[in-house]
Amino acid sequence: MKKSVFVTRQLPGDGLRKLADSCDLRVWPNPGPITPQSLHSEMVGVQGLLCMLTDRVDCNLIKSLPGLEFVSSMSVGVDHIDVDAMTDRKIPVGHTPGVLVETTADTAFALLLAAARRIAESDRFIRHGQWSSANTWSPEFFVGKDLWGATLGIIGLGEIGKAVARRAAGFGMQVVAYNRSEASAPGVDLLPLEDVLAKSDFITVHVALADDTRNLISAQRIALIKPGAVLVNTARGGIVDEVALAEALMDGRLSAAGIDVFSEEPITRSSPLLNLPNVVLTPHIGSASVQTRIRMADLAVANAIAALAGQTMPCCVNPQVYD
């Protein structure tokens, strides 16, 4: 008998057609993310789950599914999944690293440039009818910061951090980085975290969210950042203390920020970041290019098909389950 797999979203590309050849497939038919209650009821009696980063796969859900054999997430980050609970049950968890590296590095760079050169603020200025002959080009009109000649601090020198470093070299930046373990990239000086914060004119965050990185850029560490620096986060919201960041932006200690990820998503209407003109906000679109989303969907499907065939997933977060 074929195994059953539940997929929480329609996927781009033709991955679902391939997956349907290997299992009894059900895809959540409604627009928008599935609710936790519906996910729970859809999963009863199902062996495999292909989920998104918007789906919480917590220990309660896992406990209630004795027949669960694998989870494959269409994301590189897996902080929405209780991986320890899955590992305890010897259930493999798949994810999609590698395929989104260049696209996410592009997003980080887009936010760096937009925040440095006040692009979103300028766009609002024009649309709100504020560009008038009395308020127009002048020596200090919308001046921002140069990337050229500035120091970029990369927090997390993994594949995405390295892709950002390559872009920074082309922009004539000096690059320093912090990584918790040994890492290297051409032209990048590895430094302790505090030194990266103190030296960098621009800081970009590229670590995964885990117990040891939650609140890594805490209020105390934000206080160490070089005055006037720009901070960009395309990794995960829980890594940066958003309230402390908003305070530093409000009182001018940081000149600007570009933020794609938030401690709560969608962002809460009460977030202090929403009222700050010097923050560029994007709604978690780091990997959002047409081609990359197809590659991510295909890899999530390949992980699921391997699990259905009793094989090792090509990209497994907890490969120790195969020991």
Catalog residues that contact ligand GLV under the rule CB under 6 A: 53, 75-77, 100, 286-287
Could you tell me the two tokens for 93? 């968890």
84 vs 265, beta carbon nearer ligand GLV: 265
Q: What residues are paired with 258 via a beta bridge?
A: 232, 280
Marked catalytic residue, from 80, 95, 284, 293: 284
Give the Cα separation of 215 and 17 in Å (integer). Answer: 41
Q: In the annotation, is 236 catalytic?
A: yes
Q: In the annotation, is 265 catalytic?
A: yes
110 vs 229, beta carbon nearer ligand GLV: 110
Output the smallest distance, CB 77 to ligand GLV, in A.
3
The SS3 assignment for 246 reads helix
22 vs 292, beta carbon nearer ligand GLV: 292
Output the smallest distance, CB 208 to ligand GLV, in A.
8
Tell me phi and psi for residue 295, to 5 degrees. Answer: -65, -40
Output the smallest distance, CB 286 to ligand GLV, in A.
5
Marked catalytic residue, from 221, 236, 293, 295: 236
Output the smallest distance, CB 79 to ligand GLV, in A.
8
- Work out whether the CA dihedral 277, 283, 288, 289 comes out positive or negative: negative
The per-residue DSSP string of 79-148 comes to: TTB-HHHHHHTT--EE---STTHHHHHHHHHHHHHHHHTTHHHHHHHHHTT---SSSS--TTTT-----T
Residues 222, 248: contact at Cβ < 8 Å? yes
Distances (CA, A) of 32 to 25, 29, 252: 19, 9, 38
Output the smallest distance, CB 53 to ligand GLV, in A.
5
Give residue 224's identity as a one-letter amino acid code. Answer: L
151 vs 292, beta carbon nearer ligand GLV: 292
53 vs 196, beta carbon nearer ligand GLV: 53
Residues 251, 277: contact at Cβ < 8 Å? no
Q: Which residues are catalytic?
A: 236, 265, 284
